[in-house]
Chains A and B, each alone.
Chain A
């Protein structure tokens, strides 16, 4: 090739300059079908959610007779009236409050309790430690359906059936195996020197846990928190089983299903509000979100 350079020199500069551009154009053109295909698929994935949102904007007298796509030809017909009606509806606002309480309690408590246990499994010496840890991990395989019937009776006996607390505790327990598994694996990676020097300085285990482990474990805790928050916010099965008056938003929407078509002016905005929060979390914490979900996918 080197010898041909001399020969090539007299060749007009034009083509040489144009060549990459033309090739890039060619490559772009050859990729156009792919780009169009993927753009189409991407839109296909967005349309259903958009459809629910636009449905929720249709005025009550049109919502059960007109498709949401008519909004594009008559944007002025949209209204937030369904949303203001929604927030005037006591059943819905109290359901939203229940969802918030369950999601916060069901996130904070299991992470705290799980972190305590994870620290013990990672850095405290005690007989049977590895076996106990294995047992905890083994509990990952228990589907929550296994606990519904006994806990239904248990909650009734203890008298906490149909309370926010009963929902939070159920979520907490079923979050623990995974939380302990994930956090223990993370805590083990914290350099031993840091812990040893703190112990030598006379710091108590509680102090080490609060001052060192929790801050150092923050990346894992954040991923876990996001995963767990979404899990509890989005829960339907547990709340449907243990809630009668205490209904989170998913169950409150479900109770309107008897007449889906007639109640769509309430169902559509309520469903959109219930999914807007997870979506906001998703867009705000995308990186942690993906990590948490991927790690949690074994659950």
Chain B
């Protein structure tokens, strides 16, 4: 019905048509122009000027990136990131992707591993900073390591103990020893203090002065402390003996020639020994400190610590993309290889991986780009004291421009460097992405 009225004159003219087009495009054009095109050009130009922007300095700012220590560290660290993280993330994604094809609860596994992708890199950093605390009492990673470390190298029973009298000397590294010269038949009192109640063994009993041994040396190790003080060096009522302490009888050279463990009342005895010139000491193991925690957030390990957090976030991305690639593989090719007698490992290496190559490359390149821009998670994992050591390009850019130095010239140069590094990678990715679409 409308057809007869559709004369050429009624169609919108070219100008009118373009007016509509312009209306549709204008908002985007204005936003892109002001917020992306103009700043990009401006940053390029700014990078050739000094800090205030008043003096043209040529390529000086770029030279500074590779000569200032702090910035060289950033470039080096970012190079390490590029070398380690994309490959690891891709490999982990591939392994997870292949393995979960063989289990029934793969959906649950994918949810668990992919979940960190939803979280901000900043919050992920907070999560890992809590995990990485040095004190094994509050840092979960060090607490886990402590379980193993303290099993392999058990801490001493009384790591905090101190001698109660001047008669007992030595250091906790060498073990505490009785200082007076000994004679056969002597009784050696080795009083200790500063032992937390939790450290006192359950079987500890009232300490007692041991009977002398005629042909050797006897002694007692006990908690020489009573509320209110008590008399140092004297075994008193209510003072407990320390059982299970390894005692060493040392010769003149300080070598242990005999060892014995204390009884529940703290007493011990070396029988049939020559006392002259010998010393009695509490073995150093008694005082060995427990595992004190790896300093993950310190200057030496901060980059690996941030990387672990980052890999935790991105592994799920790699797994899901590679998993989608795996699901799209031609089943008959895999089956044919299996029928021909190829082992699972051979199928994986000779068939699966080559067929997955394009997907693996996209994941790898995407991670290269992400790693070049890494920023948030470095700032949230690394304490201020470690940030110089954790520095990366994007962080160096921000700190130079906004972190107090406020050098817009150098900051612009670092931004341009980042841009130039990203361009080829993103161009590659967009091209392969378009091929897929």
Question: Which residues of A approach B to under 8 Å, CB–CB?
Answer: 31, 34-35, 37-38, 41-43, 45-49, 51-52, 55, 64-69, 113-114, 116-117, 119-120, 124-126, 132, 136-137, 139-143, 145-152, 154, 169-170, 172-174, 176-177, 180, 185, 200-202, 205-206, 209, 230, 233-237, 240-241, 250, 253-254, 257-258, 260-261, 264, 267-268, 271, 274-275, 278-279, 281-282, 286, 289-290, 293-294, 297-298
Interface flag for B56 (CB, 8 Å): no
> In the complex, are the beta carbons of B376 and A237 less than 8 A apart?
yes
> Which of B404-437 touch A at CB < 8 Å?
408, 411-412, 414-416, 418-419, 422-423, 426-427, 429-430, 433, 437
Q: Which residues of A contact B108 (CB under 8 A)?
A: 42
> In the complex, are the beta carbons of B36 and A173 less than 8 A apart?
yes
* Distance in angstroms between the alpha carbons of A196 and B195 in the assembled complex: 89
* Distance in angstroms between the alpha carbons of A31 and B320 in the assembled complex: 22
What is the number of contacts between chain A and chain B, taking CB atoms within 8 Å? 264
- Distance in Å: Cβ of A44 to nearest Cβ of chain B: 9
* Distance in angstroms between the alpha carbons of A234 and B125 in the assembled complex: 12
> In the complex, are the beta carbons of A142 and B127 less than 8 A apart?
no
* Distance in angstroms between the alpha carbons of A293 and B119 in the assembled complex: 13
B122 CB contact (under 8 Å) in A126, A201, A236, A293: A236
- Distance in Å: Cβ of B234 to nearest Cβ of chain A: 36
Known A65-B137, A260-B129, A293-B117; judge A150-B2 contact (CB<8 A).
no
> Which of B114-147 touch A at CB < 8 Å?
114-123, 126-131, 133, 137-140, 143
Q: Which residue of A lies closest to B140 (CB)?
A: A51
* Distance in angstroms between the alpha carbons of A43 and B140 in the assembled complex: 14
> Which of B92-107 touch A at CB < 8 Å?
96, 99-100, 102-103
1/0 contact trace for B323-339 toward A, CB 8 Å? 01000000000000000
> In the complex, are the beta carbons of B138 and A278 less than 8 A apart?
no
> In the complex, are the beta carbons of A297 and B419 less than 8 A apart?
no
> In the complex, are the beta carbons of A149 and B408 less than 8 A apart?
yes
B126 CB contact (under 8 Å) in A202, A233, A267: A267
> In the complex, are the beta carbons of B437 and A185 less than 8 A apart?
yes
- Distance in Å: Cβ of A4 to nearest Cβ of chain B: 22
* A interface, over-half SS: helix
Interface flag for B366 (CB, 8 Å): yes
> In the complex, are the beta carbons of B112 and A46 less than 8 A apart?
yes
